[in-house]
Amino acid sequence: MSVVIPIGPFHPALHEPSFFKVHVEGEKIVHTDIRLGYNHRGLEKICEARTIEQAIIVIERVCGICSQAHTTAYCGAVEDIAGIDIPERAAYIRSIFCEIERIHSHLLCMGTMFHTLGYEYLFMECWKLREITMDILEDLGGNRVHYSSNTIGGVRKDIDNKTSDRILSDIESLLNPVKEWLDIIKHDSTVYERLKGVGYLSIKEIKQFGAVGAFAKGGGIPIDARFSDQYAAYGFHDFKPVVESVNGKGGDCYSRAVFRSKECLQSIDLTKTFLDNLPDGDLVTKYDSIPAGESMGRTEAPRGEDVHYVRTNGGPLLDRIRIRVPTYTNLQTLPTALKGNLIGDVPVILVTMDPCFSCTER
């Protein structure tokens, strides 16, 4: 006979409100029901009463961590409708913001993962490093979380040589600590044994539920909009998505943690490449008006593929926007990832998925 254990809506293991009804037999999970809606703010409806330019401000506030990814997707969709090609310098600056944001998000997630495992020293180390990325973002955009950099047709914030040099040296200082913790995940038995074989998902299951981000890339499927959609400046340089798996057949918490650390290293590399190759030129392409039309914008947010559907009616107001964030599809996959695991492993599986309920419910 199964017993129902409620986790949430407010629970120490969750960093945002959501409700999981976990059905267990003994300590083994047999089924999970998810109830969402504790963070629903109706942002899509709010956007319908805003002009196309004003909507950027609302969309930036969908999430506090991946705000640049959201506005890049939205601006990309509107630029597609209006047929605007952004200047090369603007494309590079968008990418630089996206990459630093990714490093910031991964450091935050790894910190909470170590905290969940009880490895408090690395938790504090990760969050200390995260401050460096937040300082860079504050230098670039004026704010620690909402940078207000993107605008339709380009960007509003420029990067001068002095800031560029500072970012390069600061980013460089992250390289060794990240390598160090990757080594700890691989070789420290207190971390390794807690993650290995937990929350396993096969490639078939990942494809069945359409999982993206850490579930897909940490399970052997290279779904990465940066390289498959080539938005902003990602088409200018030849990089391949980081993929990690268990014998090429799927992924567990361990492969997801290793994937996230490796992607962090790749992002440091990408930031350096973009800063070194930053071209001269304008920041914005001017446009007259946005015609009626519809399009899709895609970006790779830190947690996975972020999709925006935008529809305009030729007037100043936005007709419809639909935002699908990575956690949305990953939550569909979650009951399968939890099934068969122990109730004590729920926080670890959740944290390696890196959920963002604020994004999911909008």
Partner 1 sequence: MKELPETKEVMAIFDAHSIDAKKTHKLRIFAEVEDHILWHGILKEKFDARLLIATGVDEMDSFVVHYHYNIQAKPRDLVVTLKKRVSRINPTLKSLTPIDNSANFSERETSDYFGIEFEGHIQPEIMFLPDELKGEFPLRKDYKTGGQKCQLLSR
Task: Indicate whether 236 belongs to the interface with partner 1 (CB under 8 A).
Answer: no
Identity of the residue, 171 or 214, whose beta carbon is nearer to partner 1 in the bound complex: 214
Neighbours of 166 (CB within 10 A): 14
Residue 11: CB atoms within 10 Å: 15
Nearer to partner 1, 14 or 321 (CB): 321
- The nearer residue to partner 1, 186 or 207, going by C-beta atoms, is 207
Q: Does 237 bind partner 1 (CB under 8 A)?
A: no
Q: How far apart are CA 176 and CA 82, in angstroms?
A: 44
Enumerate residues 6+ apart whose C-beta is below 8 A from 187: none
- How many other CB atoms are there within 10 angstroms of residue 159's CB atom? 19
When the beta carbons of 224 and 263 are compared against partner 1, the nearer one is 224
Between 14 and 81, name the residue whose CB sits nearer to partner 1: 81
Question: In the bound complex, what is the minimum distance in angstroms from residue 54's beta carbon to partner 1?
Answer: 9
Q: Is 72 in the site for partner 1 (CB under 8 A)?
A: no
> Would strands 150-151 and 154-155 be described as parallel, antiparallel, or unpaired?
antiparallel
Report CA-CA distances (Å) from 151 to 130, 143, 180, 183, 262: 26, 16, 38, 40, 31
Cα(186)–Cα(346) distance, rounded to whole angstroms? Answer: 21
Contacts of 41 (CB under 8 A, 6+ apart): 361, 362
Q: Is 203 in the site for partner 1 (CB under 8 A)?
A: no
Shortest Cβ 326–partner 1 spacing (Å)? 11
The site for partner 1, by CB under 8 A, has a size of 39
Q: Is 285 in the site for partner 1 (CB under 8 A)?
A: no
Map residues 332-361 to x or -, x wherever contact with partner 1 holds by CB under 8 A.
Answer: x----------------------------x
How does DSSP assign 219-232, residue by residue? Answer: TT----HHHHT--T
- Contacting partner 1 (CB under 8 A), which of 228, 236, 272, 283? 228
For the beta carbon of residue 49, count every other beta carbon within 10 angstroms.
11
Kindly state whether residue 215 participates in binding partner 1, applying the rule CB under 8 A: no
209 is a site residue for partner 1 (CB under 8 A): yes
Of the candidates 284, 277, 297, 268, the one whose C-alpha atom is nearest the C-alpha of residue 237 is 277
Told to check if 83 binds partner 1 by CB under 8 A, we report yes
d(CA 357, CA 152) in angstroms, rounded, equals 27
CB of 37 to partner 1, least distance (A): 4
The one among 55, 63, 66, 81 contacting partner 1 by CB under 8 A: 81
- b/e map 270-295, b = 16+ CB within 10 Å: bbbbbbeebeeeebbeeeeebeebeb
- Contact pattern from residue 98 through residue 137 relative to partner 1, giving x for each residue in contact according to CB under 8 A and a dash for the rest: ----------------------------------------
One residue of 80, 88, 139, 269 binding partner 1 per CB under 8 A: 80
Residues 128-187 that bind partner 1 (CB under 8 A): none
Contact set with partner 1 (CB under 8 A): 36-37, 40, 42, 44-45, 76, 79-83, 207-210, 223, 228-230, 235, 293-296, 298, 305, 307, 309, 311, 319-320, 322, 324, 328-329, 331-332, 361
